[in-house]
Amino acid sequence: MRRPQGRTSKLVQNAVATTVAAVMIAAMPGSTFADGAAQAPWPTAGWQTSTPEGQGIDPGALAALIEQGATQNLDSLLVIRHGRIVLDATYAPYNAGLPHVVNSVTKAITGTLAAIALKDGLLQSLDQPVMPFFADRIVTEPDARRSAITLQTLFDMTSGIDWEEPFGGMPRSMIDMDRSRNQIDFVLNRPMAAAPGERFNYNSGGAHLVSAIVARVTGMTTEAYAAKKLFGPLGITAWTWRRDPQGISTGGYGLALHPHDMAKFGYLYLHGGAWDGQQLVPAEWVDKVNHAVVDMHTSFAPELRYANFFWAVPERQLYWASGYHCQLVVVYPTLDLVAVTTGKDECRVRTLTMAIAQSVKSSAALSPDPAGSERLAQAIRAAATEKPSVGMAPPPIAAAISGKVYRFESNPLGVKSLSLSFAEADPHYELDLYTRNPAQPSEKVSGSFGLDGLYRRGVDTPFGPLAVKGRWLDERVFEVDRINLGGGDLPRRWTLTFEGDRLHLIGRNYMGVDVAIDGMAE
């Protein structure tokens, strides 16, 4: 089991300094949106590339940015100026060929699809009441304030629905929703905590209601509507999108995209919702994002505003879609620039946004910088090269336990059985996991693991390919690291201690708590 994806995390607390970056943007010479728009290429079939200097960016500054990203558990870093990629870096073991979970960036895409449905005449207005869309649902928590919930209050996180999903805290309501057998009913039957429009309160459930509304008015899943009206025109051909038990595309999280396609989404917003001669998204919708007015009441960043599932610093025309563990699509209209990050842990948004802004030196091309370009190339290669973890040579116990099956009683880690084979040609594991529903069969996972300190990519999962490596710490203790490549989380580490026929396993559960369990050899 893994923690549900989606909430925007403590990284938001660092966003206070995006204002600093925004001030720097306003002070920079040259570029405005109009400067780059006239000759902007459309990346429907793929992005054009350029040297950083060709787009007025210092390559040495980008190299420093990559080096900073290595300390912040990034998976990828992408910078596009004037419609051309000037930086495209990935951090091993993740690689550019894989989609990446975008977590709460999903909200911005769900909202965009609602805006397209409005343009298509399938929705009446942003002020349209929400509850009539769910007239066939049973609401057991009557409250007159519920009838005042509108589409706009869902987009702005001001619905008034009682919801616990604080920045940097445990998203209890989102977890409960994710466990629910009927997630829409779960959200609709939450009590009301405030009048709609009264105050901001982060709520992934509201985004899921939007997805259900899009599905209802279009007669297709939100994912199918995206394929037709958004992904298709943008040239996005590969993605995955989770669904709830009723088949509704999860509105607040659960989408995985390639970073290049995340950038296409940002580029659409950079151009006011237009794409290669078509107005895909109403310009008014994008303008509202750029001039967000909903006060998020963040003591650490009083200038932050929210609108239409986007974060914004409106006085500096800087906004971004944000997802848990540093999934970011950042739009800098005054620089004609889009930046994308994906990651697997908290990151310093301040550092990233400031460094990106500082790398821009001019709206015109700079002179070639061979030294800076070589430093950048080296930084890209270093980021893409996996660094092995060092362990000791296999001890004698490795041969004794090789192939043994250890069985576990029901436990918080969900481990039913585990077997390790230390054959030199192909070290591999076999793992059997309990499922949430006892009536369903257990889930079997198997694959190779590296003993040379490097990950071995194995089975594909809904959260990305599973990669595993292991190392011996002493004569009886073996350490296993498992990571879903592009899954948006740090490696999950298991420490295995072998004592006769007993296996003592310590691992972290989906709530981030270390749990100890014991298994016995068959």
The DSSP string of 31-98 is --HHHHHTT----TT--EE--TGGGTB-HHHHHHHHHHHHTTTEEEEEEEETTEEEEEEE-TT--TTS
Report pLDDT digits (tens) over 389-407: 888 999 999 999 999 999 9
pLDDT of 14 strictly over 80:
no
State mean pLDDT over 244-262: 97
Band of residue 357 on the pLDDT scale cut at 50, 70, 90:
confident
Band of residue 369 on the pLDDT scale cut at 50, 70, 90:
very high
pLDDT of 8 strictly over 50:
no
State mean pLDDT over 73-80: 97
State the pairing for strand pair 443-448/428-433.
Answer: antiparallel
Return the pLDDT at 1: 33
Report pLDDT digits (tens) over 39-63: 679 999 999 999 999 999 999 999 9
Q: Decide if 114 contacts 152 (C-beta within 8 A).
A: no
Average pLDDT, the chain: 90
State mean pLDDT over 364-383: 97
pLDDT of 480 strictly over 90:
yes
State mean pLDDT over 27-37: 39
Band of residue 381 on the pLDDT scale cut at 50, 70, 90:
very high
Q: Could you give the 3-state DSSP secondary structure of residue 357?
A: helix
Q: Name the percent of the chain lying above pLDDT 90.
A: 80
Question: What pTM does this model have?
Answer: 0.91
- Whether residue 191 has a cis bond before it, omega within 30° of 0: no
Band of residue 506 on the pLDDT scale cut at 50, 70, 90:
very high
pLDDT of 17 strictly over 60:
no
